[in-house]
Amino acid sequence: MGKTIIEKIIANHSDRNEVKPNDIVDITIDARVARDFGGANVVKNLIDNNLEVHDPSKTFFTFDCNPTGSDQKYAVNQHKCRLFARERGITVHDINEGIGTHLAIDRGFVYPGSTFISTDSHANIMGAVGAFGQGMGDQDIAAAWANGSVWFKVPKSAKLIFKGAKPSNISAKDVVLNLLAKYGANTLLGYSVELYGEAIEKLSIDERITIASMGTEMGAIIIMIPPNKEILDYCSKATGRNIEAVIADTDAHYDFEDSIDISEFVPMIARPGKPHDSVNIQTQNKTKIDSAFIGSCTNGRIEDLRIAGGILRNRKVAPGVVLKIVPSTDEVWQQALNEGLIQIFKSAGALVSNAGCAGCAAGQVGQNGPGEITISTGNRNFPGKQGKGDVFLASPAVVAASAVAGYITTPDAIPDKPAEFVSGTRKNEKIQNRNTEKEEKKPIEVTGRVWYIKEDNIDTDMIFHNRYLAITDINEMGQYALDNLAGYENFAKEAKPGDIIVTQKNFGAGSSRQQAVDCFKALGITCIVAESFGAIYERNAINAAMPIITYNDLTALDLKQGDTITVNFETGKITSHKNNKSVPANPFSQVQMDIYHKGSIFN
């Protein structure tokens, strides 16, 4: 019996002449990749298990999730990977290069018939060139780095035959959204899916990448598209050697076969929450949007940007709508620049970022907020995947057209005048006042356990680090108080309501962040006693009715960590319960006392 594409590739990379579905075999991996997402864990697994890298020439890091380096955790992990790579001669495709799976194809690490693994769940994009690719966890990747191979269960194969001609208004994204509508997320679960037909044969490499990228969303192991001459020539140039296709035998066995009339496909859109909840775009026509995104491993190629550029040329993004565009690789970015596309995007009012995964990976441009409606070319719109708002999935043409119109539409229905946001359309939404304390007479004297922090110049980054600045709910802030101050990382866990902080000069130096005050209010800290405060911090604390008081000398109190003291805001007297001694401090001013009793400057 003949063999399918996946069966041949796996057999060629194992010690067997042939394999069949459900066989478990060790496969040699031609290219082994860890991204900034998961890369540090791969390194940790190798170090913890005293393992070395099998072949550094086949091993790579690709930093594509957060190429701006704007997230502290990503920045730390990226640097850990860089250090590991320097010591072992591993190539790092750093934050300036783009999406790792695209680099693997464009630079010849992957080619028809080869094998590839990555910490990227869309590593099966390699099916676009007839190669085997799989996303795996950091333990799997670490084992493959150490051994050069990994075990894999041979999947069953499916064969989809496309008949008819692809309509001119149907993009590659529409093709895969039509497939998702037809098969859902589990009909092809666990299959290696091969695509055939004249319409498939004519697909460009960029179109093939779009379709193969969303095999994950269909539940497939991989979508295999047999390479045509254009693909073979592309991969031969990338690798510097003659590449031949691995093709299925004519008598290969498929556990699932289906015939599809592509001429019946219609422009589609996936509704928020599920990529497979794909419907005719007309059902969502004129849905108002807040933002639009073009990019991701699914639609960040040069053909995608050209389509968007053709629609945006001499047009403007609708008022109040934000359009974000992220090319897939730096080469695509440079090509878009050379072709004048970047200028078109900027003239239209779009934000163009450096190459990478963008909002899809929750680490770069493209995220949205609660209540925000986004139309995106991404591969997923699971809740929280691209932010906390609602995300529709569509083609680059539809996203660009919708950004201009201000609502979901198709390129042939862009209005002369864009839709605008109407004042009062969200008037029923309640605006929550961040401070709900009622005006009441509060105690002018507090007693509590002392946290004695004997340091000057404790800045706001030590108090409440900038990686938490997106938090707006005061109730969530307390857990991060002082976690960036050496020796006090566990302060938030150990502090109790009623505690008092005593510290030294210039407490709260640095930025203007209000959270550095509010985090202590959230924990129930009743007072901060310092020799002096940063000027902005002092105002922030007073205006938020957070009791602060300054002193000149506390020597007589002989303070120790855990002592109990009483602080009187009206007289300024500070008394130690250990030795019953008191010292004078600076009492509240009338303004501070008024705001304190009112609960905030707003009351």
Lowest-confidence pick of 12-16, 71-75, 240-244, 416-420: 71-75
CA distances from 259 to 41, 179, 332 (A): 43, 12, 35
Please spell the DSSP secondary structure of 486-551, one letter per residue: TT-TTHHHH--TT-EEE--TTBTBS---THHHHHHHHHT--EEEES-B-HHHHHHHHHTT--EEEE
pLDDT for res 529: 97
pLDDT for res 69: 64
Please spell the DSSP secondary structure of 56-107, one letter per residue: GGGEEEE--SSTT--SHHHHHHHHHHHHHHHHHT-EEE-TTTB-HHHHHHHT
| Helix, strand or coil, per DSSP, at residue 31 | strand
Give the H or E element holding residue 582: strand 582-586
User: What are the tokens at 138?
Assistant: 């950091």
What angle do helix axes 72-88 and 39-48 make, rounded to 10 degrees?
Answer: 50
Q: In terms of C-beta density within 10 A (0-12 exposed, 13-18 middle, 19 or more buried), how is residue 71 classed? A: middle
What angle do helix axes 205-213 and 172-183 make, rounded to 10 degrees?
Answer: 30
pLDDT for res 431: 37
Query: What would the pLDDT profile of 320-359 be if each residue is shown by its tens digit?
Result: 999 999 999 999 999 999 999 999 999 999 999 989 887 7
Calculate the average pLDDT of the chain. 92
Residue 23 has pLDDT above 50, yes or no: yes
| Helix, strand or coil, per DSSP, at residue 15 | coil
Query: What would the pLDDT profile of 537-587 be if each residue is shown by its tens digit?
Result: 998 999 899 999 999 999 999 999 999 999 999 999 999 999 999 999 999
pLDDT for res 424: 60
The residue-averaged pLDDT of 14-19 equals: 95
Give Cα 496 to chain centroid, integer Å.
35
Residue 227 has pLDDT above 90, yes or no: yes
Cβ atoms of 312 and 348 closer than 8 Å: yes
Q: Which domains does the chain have, with CATH numbers?
A: 5-264 (3.30.499.10), 268-413 (3.30.499.10), 445-598 (3.20.19.10)
% of the chain surpassing 90 pLDDT: 77
With bands split at pLDDT 50, 70 and 90, how would you rate the model's confidence at 171? very high
Give the H or E element holding residue 158: strand 156-163
The residue-averaged pLDDT of 366-389 equals: 84
Residue 436 has pLDDT above 60, yes or no: no
**Paired residues of 159 in beta bridges:** 194, 257
The residue-averaged pLDDT of 295-299 equals: 92
Extended beta strands in 368-508, E state: 373-376, 390-393, 445-452, 500-502
CA-based angle 452:454:458, to the nearest 5?
Answer: 105
